[in-house]
Structure 1
Amino acid sequence: MKRILTTVNTFSRRRTFDSLRPLTNHPRTIPVTRNLHTSSNPHNATATATATSKPQDAAGSLSSNPQMAFPCLDALETRTSNLLNNSTPVKKFSSGGGPEPSYTSGPHQTFHSPTPLRLDWGGTLPTYTIAYETWGSLNPTASNAILLHTGLSASSHAHSTPSNPSVGWWEKFIGEGKALDTSKYFVICTNVIGGCYGSTGPSSVDPSTVTDGSSGKGVPYATKFPIVTLEDMVRAQFALLDHLGIQKLFASVGSSMGGMQSLAAGVLYPERVGRVVSISGCARSHPYSIAMRFVQRQVLMSDPNWSRGHYYSSIPPHVGMKLAREIATVTYRSGPEWEQRFSRLRADPAKPPALCPDFKIETYLDHAGEKWCLEYDANSLLYISKAMDLFDLSEDVQREARARREGYAGGRGGSCTLTLPDEAYEEQEGPQSPEITTTGTPRRPPRDLIAGLSPLKNHKVLVIGVASDILFPAWQQREVVDALREGGNEGVTHVELGEDVSLFGHDTFLLDTINVGGVVGEFLKE
């Protein structure tokens, strides 16, 4: 283990939606072949143009250029039409409402808690359900359990099971002889509170809408769902551990958002967690990642079909979801990797440029959005991404959250009174944090963060970062390590993968079974 870590540690540290309706005043043009300029929608005026000797504009005068076609917009219109006609595969919501995305990840186990979950921001869930899956066997002393935390949009299906043989999101990292060795450990993975793969979230039925004699029918929470935090999700997970009879985890393991939750598990329940593994995570969200998630939410919420969250009996906001996913995908990988994969290649260099996907990188992003836009609940994306923004393990933040929970008197929580500022933001002189240098990297961890991570003083902690990660830059993992060490933790192992090792950016934790999986496996063996 020491040899591997030494080698790795020396790696370098471098680092519009209404407009989708068909236009009625298109100039009519001559379609010769179907290409990036030619519509694939037979109902679009561009695709049904009649032949003329020269193209004309809307006023009938001669035009030097034909009207450009937009097959990418045609495809969005077609999906909207298919959803209206119920011809796109969707599942019906349990209340009997209209089309809804297929959220389920397949068969899983469920834990239903009748005990209310008090939340960090004053709301409550009177009851809640957690979807989970397990691999391996729990030993007689219940001392070999590993809690695996997911990224933002992942389900509990981290690995295939007899009841659900489809490939899981961490398939190559779980199993006999792998990073999470199922011959030794009992691995548990849950869908988080706020999610849409079986755990209680915005798409779940609001129990206050279920009346006697209604056979359990009701309407979804939608945006009546309370604001949740990553710490709320962790507390719900530990209620599941209580149900399973697990008093102490052998380890808490997670990547990305899961890496944040893994640290939170150790901070909230230091006596119930043995080791902590945090991969490509952080101890507090920083402005860049907050900004990227904000833009995704704004794009999604601007889709008219979002309907302020109440879309479950109509068309889901598939356009906003597609665009939000494309933005997210830009942050998941790295520029150097895309240079190798796509360079400046166009999908078809023999055809003239188009405003729809044209370069290969554009077609890749388009495909990423397409395959996801109906597979995840839009409201879950909003709530969970906001929970990531709010994440901060600093001592004062945790103390204030605890006071809100303990002071909560019941009910459904207060209404949101947030308003936009009266004046626009004005640039301030100098850095806003005394701990930040002029280059934008931390000078040292804030004392409040050092104090917040102090419950992990006596824990073995593995922190892995990736130099090519732009969403959770490697300096954020170094901040975690420095804060732990300044707080007196002498059992921290820090691994940073340079660009000469991995160009996969943030997604390295999903792909690198050697430099991520191998290091995790060795750490758990020590």
Structure 2
Amino acid sequence: MSTPYPRPSNPQLSFPCLEKLEQRSQSLEENGPEPAYAKITEDKVDIFRSTDPIFLDYGGYLPQFQVAYETWGTLNSNRSNAILLQTGLSASSHAHSTAKNPAKGWWENFIGPGKYLDTDKYFVICTNVIGGCFGSTGPSSTDPSDGQVYATRFPIISVNDMVRAQHRLVKEHFNIDRLHAVMGSSMGGMQCLAYAHEFTDEVAKVVSISGCARSHPYSIAMRHCQRQVLMTDPNWNKGFYYGSLPPHTGMKLAREIATITYRSGPEWESRFGVERADPSKQPALCPDFLIETYLDHAGEKWCLEYDPNSFLYISKAMDLFDMSLSARTKAARSRQQTEARYNGEYVPDSELEYKPVDQCSFDEPMRENKRTRRMTPEEAAEDLKRGLAKLAAKEVLVIGVESDILFPAWQQREMVDLLRQGARERGGDGSNIRHVELSKEDSFYGHDTFLLALDHIGGPVSDFLEN
């Protein structure tokens, strides 16, 4: 006679968080995915189209491209009051409401008549970067060469590639010879440095908020983890998921990891402590603590709001960001090679004409670093200083936040120190390089301070733009 199956000691745990993911997959399969980013059309943004190819830092090119943009204020008669506002990783061009799109923008209370970015004085332009998914050419766009979606056939891009695309909009569409300022936060802080480096004589002022001059290992490691959890979602399918079930689970988890880096421990201690969402219930492996439910909500809210491939490409561009002279020289040579191949030419690297990226009064600029050993800290600092030298004579405002763990305050201090060294080597006193650092008392919001502590950010920005 068989023995009855023994009764377990304890009941199996329930997993409502996993059931929710399964239910979403089923709903998407039945009703079809309708990601929010796919709904961005010309009835909500303006589109600039370039039919000329753009050659990229890492050997690829786009035969043509488009840039989605929005504007606020009025361009004056001599076109001297324009400010190019650059975005963070996942932001669209919708920084403020417009007639086309009256929904509130991500910097709604910062931009407008009489506000910190005063549209009674300035003409503000904000774009969605190439590689993005809110109207600009990116992985979800169609490759004009074969009529198929790019997916992961989209080339690796850099932050400098993004600003060269923006430059065509500024020059070819708006016919602006010199911007009053370029400014941005987070990846936007990277872009404003890149724009001023690429088009030095076409920028008067630079505002970098919670940015850096090159990525550091911690931020690269965190973005690596985000990409890995996304790419291991089986629905990612090596990037070819368009028209089918998107990798929403991977995107949710990637966003949760990212959210950890956007805020600060002191803020979370104040908001959540170590409280559980419902202490009357037994502990669970699904979100249980208040901080867990917060992260879960952040991931749920975002997982269908942004194209997964765009997230991969743009986060990689942030990792690759490096304003050192050796990095910018290598990128310039790579673009020249790509353009030569595009034109049917073969130019051996040894014979490739060197177009210097450094026009300052230094000795022979550093060539591409082919050493097998790592640079010493002193060599790396010198390399970065020389890469930033083109900006050293500019009016530059750098803002950092002590509680920021993603772009820590030491990175802004490093940038300021190297820019001031460069200014002094050019005969100045470095007073053109201004630095503001918000203490933990002023803001404990971490990296997201630029979105949440507008008064502490806005005052220094508006003063700098006017004076």
Q: Which residue of 2 aligns with 1:68?
A: 13
1:519 aligns with 2:460: yes
2-structure distance, mates of 1:371, 1:126: 35
1:495 aligns with 2:436: yes
**1:506 pairs with 435, 443, 447, which one?**
447
Query: Do the aligned partners of 1:332 and 1:507 also contact (CA within 8 Å) in 2?
Result: yes
What do the CA deviations read for 1:255-283 (whole angstroms, capped 9, x no partner)?
00000101111111110000000000000
- Cα distance in 1 between the residues matched to 2:261 and 2:290: 17
Check the 8 A contact 1:113/1:129 in 2, yes or no: yes
**For residues 158 and 128 of structure 1, what CA distance do their matches in structure 2 show?**
22
Counterpart of 1:85 in 2: which secondary structure?
helix
Classify the secondary structure of the residue corresponding to 1:131. Answer: strand
- Would you say the 8 A contact 1:282–1:480 is kept in 2? yes
Cross-structure match for 1:232: 161
Shift of 1:75: 0.2
1:124/1:412 contact within 8 Å kept:
no
CA distance in 2, matches of 1:308, 1:234: 27
Shift of 1:322: 0.1
Tell me by how many angstroms 1:410 deviates.
3.9
CA 1:255–1:459: 2 relative to 1, 3 Å: same
* Structure 1 residue 102, shift from structure 2 partner: 4.2
Structure 1 runs not aligned, ≥5 long: 1-58, 92-99, 211-218, 414-430, 436-442
Letter in 2 for 1:202: P
Match of 1:113 among 50, 67, 83: 50
Tell me which amino acid in the other structure corresponds to 1:504: Y
Cα displacement (A) at 1:434: 3.3
TM-superposed CA distance for 1:445, in Å, is: 6.8
Contact 1:138–1:144 (Cα < 8 Å) also in 2: yes
Higher helix fraction (1 or 2): 2
Q: Which moved more, 1:274-283 or 1:261-270?
A: 261-270
2:234 pairs, out of 304, 325, 332, with 304
Equivalents in 2 of 1:68, 1:272: separation in Å?
Answer: 62
Write the distance in 2 (CA, Å) between the matches of 1:146 and 1:399.
28
- Measure the CA separation in 1 of the matches of 2:121 and 2:322: 33
Deviation per residue, 1:100-133 (Å, 9 max, x gap)? 8645387000000001000011111000000000
Q: TM-score, normalised by structure 1?
A: 0.79
- Alignment match, 1:167: 104
CA contact (8 A) 1:445 1:482 kept: no
Q: Paired residue for 1:394?
A: 324
- Does residue 450 in structure 1 map to residue 379 in structure 2? no
Shift of 1:475: 0.1
Aligned pairs for 1:48-63 (under 5 A) are 60-63=5-8
- Please give the root-mean-square deviation of Cα atoms over the aligned residues, in Å: 1.8
How is 1:85-96 mapped onto 2 (pairs within 5 angstroms)? 85-86=30-31, 90=34
The reply on whether 1:471 has 2:406 as its aligned counterpart is yes
C-alpha distance after superposition, 1:63-84 (max 9, x if no partner): 1100111000000000000111
- Contact 1:124–1:410 under 8 Å retained in 2: no
- Give the Å deviation of 1:412: 12
Equivalent in 130, 152, 158 of residue 223 of structure 1 = 152
Q: Indicate yes or no: 2:94 matched with 1:179.
A: no
Matched, 1:130 2:75: no
Report the CA distance between 1:432 and its aligned residue: 6.3
1:490: how far off?
3.3
Native 8 Å contact 2:185 2:209 kept in 1: yes
Could you tell me which residue of structure 2 aligns to residue 149 of structure 1?
86
Aligned amino acid, residue 253 of structure 2: L
- Partner SS state of residue 494, structure 1: strand
Q: Retained in 2: the 8 A contact 1:444–1:479?
A: no
CA distance in 2, matches of 1:202, 1:183: 37
CA distance in 1, matches of 2:342, 2:112: 44
Contact 1:132 1:190 in 2 (8 A): yes
CA distance in 2, matches of 1:401, 1:433: 18
Distance 1:387 1:362, change over 3 A: same
Which amino acid in 1 is paired with 2:164?
Answer: R
2:23 to 66, 74, 78: 78
Match of 1:54 in 2: none
* Cα distance in structure 2, aligned partners of 1:103 and 1:317: 18
Secondary structure, in 3 states, of the residue corresponding to 1:375? coil
Q: Which residue of 1 aligns with 2:95?
A: 158
Structure 2: gaps spanning 5 or more residues: 345-372, 424-429
The 8 Å contact of residues 32 and 244 in structure 2, kept in 1 or not, is answered as: no
Distance change in 2, residues 1:352/1:270 (3 Å): same
- Looking at structure 2, the residues matched to 62 and 266 of structure 1 have their Cα atoms a distance apart, in angstroms, of 71
Give distance in 2, aligned partners of 1:103 and 1:455: 40
Alpha-carbon offset, residue 135 of structure 1:
0.1
Aligned length: 427
- Paired amino acid for 1:104: I
| 1:303 and 1:317 in contact (8 A); partners too | yes
Q: Deviating runs (4+, > 6 A) in structure 1? A: none
Give SS of 1:275's match. strand
Contact 2:83–2:183 under 8 Å retained in 1:
yes
In the alignment, is residue 258 of structure 1 matched against residue 182 of structure 2? no
C-alpha distance in 2 between matches for 1:412 and 1:468:
49
Instruction: Quote the residue 1:49 is aligned against.
Output: none
SS of equivalent residue, structure 2 residue 253: helix
Counterpart AA for 1:153: S
Contact residue 38 and residue 134 of structure 2 kept, 8 A: no
**Per-residue deviation, residues 368-394 of structure 1 (Å, max 9, x unmatched):** 000100010000000000000110010
Compute the TM-score of the two structures, normalised by the length of structure 2.
0.89
Verify: 1:104 aligned to 2:104, yes or no: no
CA–CA distance in 2 between the matches of 1:392 and 1:110? 29
Alpha-carbon distance between aligned partners in 2 of 1:196 and 1:501, rounded to the nearest angstrom: 34
Distance 2:396 2:255 in 1: 32
> Deviation at 1:401?
0.6
Following the alignment from structure 2 to structure 1, what is the Cα–Cα distance between the partners of residues 38 and 300? 14
- Give the % identical residues: 61
Alignment partners' CA distance in 2, 1:152 and 1:83: 26
Aligned counterparts of 2:135 and 2:257: Cα–Cα separation in 1: 26
CA distance in 1, matches of 2:39, 2:459: 32
- What SS class does the counterpart of residue 435 from structure 2 fall into? strand
SS in 1 for 2:118: coil
Partner of 1:354: 284
Distance 2:375 2:281 in 1: 51
Q: Give, as a single letter, the amino acid of the residue that structure 1 aligns with 2:250.
A: G
Q: Deviations over 1:9-49 (max 9, x none)?
A: xxxxxxxxxxxxxxxxxxxxxxxxxxxxxxxxxxxxxxxxx
